[in-house]
Amino acid sequence: MLLQVALNKDSARQAEKIDARRRRYILSFVSYITSVVMFIYGFKNLGGEVALLPLILFGTGATFLINISYFRWSGNLNLACNIEAVLVGFFVLALVYQGGFNNTALYWVFPFPAILFGLLGVKKALLSNALLLVVLGVMLFIPDIIMADYKEAEASRFIASLLIVIIVCWINDHYRERSHEAMDLLQQSKEVQANTDPLTLLLNRRFIDSSLNINLQQQADAFLPMAVIICDIDHFKQLNDQHGHAAGDAVLRHLANLFRRNLRQQDIACRIGGEEFLFFLPKTSADDAMLVAEKIRQALLDQPLQHGKLALPVTASFGVAGCHDSNSLAAAIEHADKQLYLAKHSGRNLVC
């Protein structure tokens, strides 16, 4: 369970970074490239019959540059994208209202639905584009509320074409997100398999190196203080020699099930060797971990494995240590290992 949570967090963080990078590129493109185009056409239309068009172009280009400058200063990507989307909407409405050069404003609207999807994400962009489409429809089909003079057939074809563009952009972005989610799930499934011991279905040593250490560094408060327990089955080689490897495998699975029943959901159980197990107990002191280890040791005595017609008594030795610092996990594991060595040399079937 904790492995899945850790992988979900890692995957979410990676997805957020990729999405933020994509939105930064779109924000930069709209702010810089589009502003240059607007300034060029603004200068070309200076001195024309209608002074409103260069004002719209210069004003929008300047506000785009102010917004990207704000983003470079503040680093607030979400706010900058929202502001940019509002500016895009105002520009589209103002341009359609004025009509553009020789009444060509409608041709310049079509790139902007895709820009809104890039800036806002699927849900917010769909709502924004729908609102923009409604407002444009009102402007085009109610006479005398705009400066420009569009033919009715031209307006109808424009609205229909724009609706198709919005739908295609929505389909593309919607299924792009679904595809990324499916790929994330596939990657997580592969990670779970790579971090899981196939016999006991417990976590393996790779999990400690690939996930636990990283999460402990990044979220120390969620783990510390943490107790470490090392468990080693007593006389496991002798059991294998007497009863066969099938019996040995059954013992390992029996212990894994017993661990799951006696550990909390947030505790981490790993198989790190043939008959050796390692437990991590977040938010637990070494003294409390001693009680947990004793509980497991006693459960092993009370619940012998039924293997065919045989009842196989199994005992284990335990070493316990505490970890109070995110950089001392290796030292805590080493200390628990020394305590295990002490338990074995003190007669086995002990907690030290």
Catalytic residue numbers? 275
Q: What is the 3-state secondary structure (H, E, C) of the chain?
A: CHHHHHHHHHHHHHHHHHHHHHHHHHHHHHHHHHHHHHHHHHHHCCCCCCCHHHHHHHHHHHHHHHHHHHHHHHCCHHHHHHHHHHHHHHHHHHHHHHCCHHHCHHHHCCHHHHHHHHHHCHHHHHHHHHHHHHHHHHHHHCCCCCCCCCCHHHHHHHHHHHHHHHHHHHHHHHHHHHHHHHHHHHHHHHHHHHCECCCCCCEEHHHHHHHHHHHHHHCHHHHCCEEEEEEEECCHHHHHHHHCHHHHHHHHHHHHHHHHHHCCCCCEEEECCCCEEEEEEECCCHHHHHHHHHHHHHHHHHCCEEECCEEECCCEEEEEEEECCCCCHHHHHHHHHHHHHHHHHCCCCCEC
- Helix orientation angle between 122-141 and 77-98, rounded to the nearest 10 degrees: 20
d(CA 226, CA 217): 13
Give the pair of three-digit tokens for residue 50: 């209608």
Residues 268, 272, 278: CA angle, nearest 5 degrees: 40
CA distance 88 to 114: 11
